[in-house]
């Protein structure tokens, strides 16, 4: 059957055919002009992709670095802040403690496991040992060795397997030492040679080189602390003044702030009654320092910008002449640890934590003990301390306790330990 097409419809059909042909030609020309390496977008590429999975089965998500701060200043106490990239640090497990034991005249550096409550011998020493201190990376342990705490003393550095990591360095007198944040150096306040001057010495562990920062300093030096950014060292020092007869001597103490990059020093709050126990805040904006317990004691907040220091009213004790000792700032910067010695020799001490403004104090220690050398765990969740029975003034050994920061899970970890500081392994 023949189908007759109207002439108008035939003309319209030709127009539609020509229009489609034109569109197809332009599209092909545009596609051909694209680079050959341009990938086509598929439907699956438009869908949300799952987070990558590590070999251990844990999800790994990208992290955005958070800038940290470092403080630089001149001798006129002018401070500026500059941005620097963060330094990767291991997550602390807060499980192992270094401490000292002494039996039958032999001194041993022991590692206590606060979870398994066991002791592992790290090294032995035929002299007395004091003040073990782990490096920030947890790979080395430094301690003091000598006939007694008055000196002469050697600073001994061990690797984590107990082997000697460097030759011991001898000092005629040594008050305090602290690791650099990168674990490569140790700062020491002491007298290197007999009849020498007090100085801040820097021991380079790898190069085994000792340098000094204050060759012409005239006064005694006490506790020191290395800032967390590695740029500064704070050290407590004294100024002796005579006001009449030779017996009329009083000592004022202040904090000397050393800028290692600018090779300059600044005195913070001259005349502050600081004994020592210096602790840097993480941002570096202030130091926590402990005042002389003979004049009331207690922690002070010492700004590093040169402004006036302020006592921290821990538990409402400000102005009551309470001899507070052993103040320490938690690693996360949120809490203060401190000890209130009791006047009665049989009532023992009280170990507290409080917020950094001194409020909400909480008692951590049991009755009837003297609290010695309390130390925060790296994760700020536990406190370790040595203890002896109240009234045992002649005690030469003590018991190591660990307690949660909320006061729970008080437990004995080791007994018959030497009465010296303990150090958590990072």
Using CB atoms within 10 Å of the CB of residue 414, give its burial: 0 to 12 exposed, 13 to 18 middle, 19+ buried: buried
Per-residue pLDDT at 316: 59
User: Are residues 290 and 327 in contact, defined by beta-carbon separation less than 8 angstroms?
Assistant: yes
Find where tokens 């306040």 sit.
189
CA distance 396 to 115: 26
CA distance 194 to 191: 7
Q: Is the pLDDT of residue 308 over 70?
A: yes
Per-residue pLDDT at 45: 33
**Angle of CA points 197, 281, 153, to nearest 5°:** 30
pLDDT: which is higher, 21 or 198? 198
**pLDDT confidence band for 190 (50 / 70 / 90):** very high
Across residues 79-102, what is the average pLDDT? 56
Q: Is the pLDDT of residue 175 over 90?
A: yes
**What are the two backbone dihedrals, phi and then psi, of residue 212, each rounded to the nearest 5 degrees?**
-130, 150
Per-residue pLDDT at 10: 42
Q: Is the pLDDT of residue 239 over 50?
A: yes
In 3D space, the residue among 348, 353, 326, 352 whose CA is nearest the CA of residue 422 turns out to be 326
Q: Is the pLDDT of residue 426 over 70?
A: yes
Per-residue pLDDT at 335: 95
Q: Enter the tokens of residue 158.
A: 């061990």
pLDDT: which is higher, 95 or 296? 95
User: Are residues 202 and 189 in contact, defined by beta-carbon separation less than 8 angstroms?
Assistant: no
CA distance 370 to 419: 11
User: Are residues 329 and 304 in contact, defined by beta-carbon separation less than 8 angstroms?
Assistant: no
Across residues 247-262, what is the average pLDDT? 74
Across residues 68-79, what is the average pLDDT? 29
**pLDDT confidence band for 416 (50 / 70 / 90):** confident
Percent of the chain with pLDDT strictly greater than 90 = 43
Q: Is the pLDDT of residue 331 over 90?
A: yes
**pLDDT confidence band for 347 (50 / 70 / 90):** low
Max avg pLDDT among 33-37, 72-76, 391-395: 391-395
In 3D space, the residue among 350, 387, 354 whose CA is nearest the CA of residue 367 turns out to be 350
Per-residue pLDDT at 314: 83
CA distance 298 to 86: 33
**pLDDT confidence band for 408 (50 / 70 / 90):** very high
CA distance 317 to 298: 9
Per-residue pLDDT at 344: 59
Q: Is the pLDDT of residue 332 over 60?
A: yes
Across residues 176-195, what is the average pLDDT? 95
Using CB atoms within 10 Å of the CB of residue 337, give its burial: 0 to 12 exposed, 13 to 18 middle, 19+ buried: buried
- Each residue's pLDDT tens digit, 108-133: 999 999 987 689 999 998 889 999 99
Q: Enter the tokens of residue 125.
A: 């020493």
Across residues 122-151, what is the average pLDDT? 92
Q: 252 pairs with which residues across the strands?
A: 239
Q: Is the pLDDT of residue 218 over 60?
A: yes
Across residues 296-304, what is the average pLDDT? 84
Per-residue pLDDT at 269: 72
**Angle of CA points 186, 425, 406, to nearest 5°:** 125
- Each residue's pLDDT tens digit, 196-213: 999 999 999 998 899 999
SS (H, E, C) 254-301: EEEEEECCCCEEEEECCCCCEEEEEEECCCCCEEEEEECHHHCECEEE
């Amino acid at each position: 059957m023949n189908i007759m097409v109207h002439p108008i419809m035939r003309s319209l059909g030709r127009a539609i055919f020509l229009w489609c042909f034109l569109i197809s030609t332009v599209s092909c020309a545009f596609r051909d002009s694209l680079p050959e390496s341009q990938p086509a977008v598929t439907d699956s590429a438009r869908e949300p992709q799952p987070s990558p999975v590590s070999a251990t089965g844990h999800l790994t998500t990208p992290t955005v670095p958070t800038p940290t701060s470092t403080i630089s200043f001149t001798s006129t106490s002018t401070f500026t802040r500059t941005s620097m990239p963060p330094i990767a640090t291991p997550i602390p497990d807060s499980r192992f403690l270094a401490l000292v034991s002494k039996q039958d005249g032999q001194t041993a550096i022991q590692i206590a496991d606060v979870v398994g409550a066991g002791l592992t011998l790290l090294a032995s020493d035929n002299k007395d040992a004091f003040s073990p201190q782990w490096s920030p990376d947890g790979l080395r342990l430094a301690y003091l060795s000598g006939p007694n705490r008055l000196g002469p003393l050697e600073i001994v550095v061990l690797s984590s397997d107990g082997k000697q990591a460097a030759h011991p360095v001898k000092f005629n007198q040594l008050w305090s030492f602290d690791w650099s944040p990168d674990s490569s150096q140790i700062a020491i306040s002491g007298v290197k040679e007999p009849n020498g001057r007090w100085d801040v010495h820097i021991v380079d562990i790898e190069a085994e080189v000792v340098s000094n920062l204050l060759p012409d300093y005239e006064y005694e030096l006490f506790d020191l602390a290395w800032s967390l950014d590695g740029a500064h060292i704070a050290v407590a020092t004294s100024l002796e003044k005579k006001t009449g007869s030779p017996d009329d001597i009083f000592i004022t103490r202040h904090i000397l702030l050393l800028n290692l990059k600018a090779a300059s020093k600044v005195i913070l709050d001259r005349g502050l009654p600081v004994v020592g126990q210096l602790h840097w805040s993480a941002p570096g904006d202030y130091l926590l320092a402990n005042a002389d317990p003979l004049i009331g004691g207690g922690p002070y907040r010492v700004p590093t910008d040169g402004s006036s220091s302020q006592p921290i009213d821990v538990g409402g004790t400000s102005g009551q002449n309470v001899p507070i000792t052993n103040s320490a700032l938690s690693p996360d910067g949120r809490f203060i640890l401190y000890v209130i010695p009791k006047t009665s020799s049989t009532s023992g001490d009280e170990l507290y934590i409080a917020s950094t403004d001194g409020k909400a104090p909480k008692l951590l220690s049991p009755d009837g003990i003297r609290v010695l050398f309390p130390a925060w765990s790296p994760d700020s969740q536990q406190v370790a301390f040595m203890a002896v029975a109240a009234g045992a003034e002649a005690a030469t050994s003590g018991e190591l306790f660990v307690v949660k920061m909320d006061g729970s899970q008080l437990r004995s970890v080791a007994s018959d330990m030497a009465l010296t500081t303990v150090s958590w392994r990072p």
